[in-house]
Amino acid sequence: MLYQTHLVIHLDHIRANLLAIRAVIGPERKLLIAVKANAYGHGAVAVSRMAEAAGVDWLGVATVPEALQLREAGIRLPILKLSPAFPEEMEAALDAGVTLAVCDPDNAEALEALCAARGARAAVHLKLDTGMARIGVQPPSAPALARFLAERCPHLDLQGAFTHLPVSDDADPAYTEEQIRRFRATVAAVEAAAGPLELVHCANSGAVLGHPEGFLNLVRPGIMIYGFYPDPGTPRSIPLLPGLSFRTRVSFLKKVPAGTRVGYGLTWAAPEDTWIATLPVGYADGFNRLFSNRGRVLVAGRSYPVVGRVCMDQTMIDLGPETNVRVGDEVVLIGRSGEAEITVDEWAKALGTITYEVTCQISGRVERLYSDPQAH
Ligand SMILES: *Cc1c(COP(=O)(O)O)cnc(C)c1O
């Protein structure tokens, strides 16, 4: 075993989450899963491969290199790039069979010119901004852009239209309900201008959990497939299983006398004679430096505090005056240990952030070990 600090990726849990979503949306709708940012830290290739076998229809990425990585691994599902492509990226995207989002005529024209030069066609999805002000055409301009595609871009097939819902995870449904109405009305105008669309979609995890009126004919969850809710206030209408556990091992152990100061800055002093364990995990692994003097970990079902500052590669914990813990023992940073558990939600709350950032910030240095008891 060369790894010490590692993530166990529970592919069986992620599969169960996918099947739970499928049960709610039914067999006819398409299911696109967001695998951007290395599948929110879980490993895009392994998750996509499992998802392909589990009946997922589409994958969503943020960047062209993310799509290339999936193609190089042999994944053949359709891939949608969820954000606009620069003209310099389009050739590589087309080579990899990535479906691109179109937000404006200049962008469409660049793609049309490239397709014409290659003598090839490309499907595109029109991105509408119905109330987030991130990317997308404004609803009043959408029919004109659709007509532009139909009349001036003979190599582009307008396959779909989508929008994004910035508060679908909120306990108050009003803004999202209005946004979905605006989206449907805009899609109707686009279809009147340019013909019927095959795929119309807006439902991120918040909407999959709380807005069935937004399912339309494709849903687009991300965080929930990894087992985490977008916000503590989102309805937990679908039970989810956590997609990862984060673990390390005790690397060093010593008893120190009362008054011993610990770590960079000497910010913590032992109140009594105590056992200090060192863990080979630090902020370079994504064990956030904000856990200095306030994080906790689990060893054999018991909780121990982080003492002193989290270093780049190592962290100290206080085991107390008597301990059975030994060098090599497993330490749980996120996940279950006996009856005890540290959740991604606990980290999000402690760090003042969201579940998404917690899993995305576990760094590339941390070995991913894939667990899939049901696979054969
Ligand atoms: C990331 C992303 C999603 C998935 O969002 P979650 O909140 O993780 O479910 C869906 N649509 C778009 C456009 C995205 O960028």
Q: Residue 261 belongs to a domain with what CATH number?
A: 2.40.37.10
Whether 82 is in the pocket of ligand 1, judged by its Cβ within 6 Å, is yes
Q: How distant, in Å, are the alpha carbons of 279, 339, 352, 358 from that of 348?
A: 21, 21, 6, 6
**Is the distance from the beta carbon of residue 61 to the nearest atom of ligand 1 less than 6 Å?**
no
Cβ count within 10 A of residue 102: 28
* Interval between CA 224 and ligand 1 midpoint (Å): 10
Residues 31 and 125 in one domain: yes
Of 193, 226, 259, the one marking the end of a domain is 226
Residue 364 lies in a domain: no
**Atom 13, ligand 1: residue with shortest CA distance:** 82
- Spell out the per-residue pLDDT of the chain, length 376, in tens: 667 999 999 999 999 999 999 999 999 999 999 999 999 999 999 999 999 999 999 999 999 999 999 999 999 999 999 999 999 999 999 999 999 999 999 999 999 999 999 999 999 999 999 999 999 999 999 999 999 999 999 999 999 999 999 999 999 999 999 999 999 999 999 999 999 999 999 999 999 999 999 999 999 999 999 999 999 999 999 999 999 999 999 999 999 999 999 999 999 999 999 999 999 999 999 999 999 999 999 999 999 999 999 999 999 999 999 999 999 999 999 999 999 999 999 999 999 999 999 999 999 999 999 999 977 5
Which ligand 1 atom lies nearest to the CA of residue 223? 8
Look at the block and give the residue holding tokens 């609803």: 139
For 138-193, the three-class secondary structure string (H helix, E strand, C coil) is: CHHHHHHHHHHHHHHCCCEEEEEEECCCCCCCCCCCHHHHHHHHHHHHHHHHHHHH
What is the C-alpha to C-alpha distance for residues 69 and 89, in angstroms, rounded to an integer? 15
Predicted pLDDT at 376: 57
100 Cβ partners below 8 Å, 6+ apart? 81, 84, 85, 90, 93, 111, 122, 124, 125
**Which atom of ligand 1 sits closest to the CA of residue 224?**
9
**From the candidates 30, 36, 81, 127, which is the catalytic residue?**
36
In a domain, residue 215? The reply is: yes
Same domain, 85 and 201: yes
Pairing state of beta strands 315-320 and 302-307? Answer: antiparallel
- Shared domain for 253 and 178, answered yes or no, is no
User: Which CATH number belongs to the domain containing residue 177 in this structure?
Assistant: 3.20.20.10
In-domain check, residue 3: no
Residues forming a β-bridge with 219: 31, 203
Instruction: Clarify whether residues 265 and 131 are in a common domain.
Output: no
Same domain, 55 and 84: yes
**Which pair of tokens denotes residue 203?**
């439902």
Q: Give the H or E element holding residue 253.
A: strand 252-256
| Domain final residue, candidates 199, 226, 253 | 226
Same domain? 195 vs 280: no
In a shared domain, residues 172 and 25:
yes
* CA gap 272, 274 in Å, rounded: 6
Clarify whether residues 18 and 91 are in a common domain: yes
Among candidate residues 177, 194, 226, the one where a domain is terminated: 226
17 is a domain residue: yes
Domain ranges, residue 198: 11-226
165 found inside a domain: yes
CA distances from 256 to 259, 319, 329, 330 (A): 8, 11, 20, 22
Q: Which of 179, 204, 357 to mutate to test the pocket of ligand 1 (most atoms within 8 A of CB)?
A: 204
Ligand 1 pocket check for 201: Cβ under 6 Å: no
- Flag whether 356 is in a domain: no
- How far, in Å, from the CA of 240 to the mean position of ligand 1? 17
Q: Is 220 in the pocket of ligand 1 (CB under 6 A)?
A: yes
Phi, psi of 98 (to 5 degrees): -90, 130
Same domain? For 222 and 281 the reply is: no
In this structure, are 175 and 269 located in the same domain? no
How many independent structural domains does the chain possess?
Answer: 2
Cα–Cα distance measured from residue 62 to residue 66, given in angstroms and rounded to the nearest whole number: 7
104 lies in a domain? yes
36 is catalytic: yes
Instruction: Determine, yes or no, domain membership for 347.
Output: no
Do 267 and 219 share a domain, yes or no? Answer: no
191 shares its domain with 60: yes
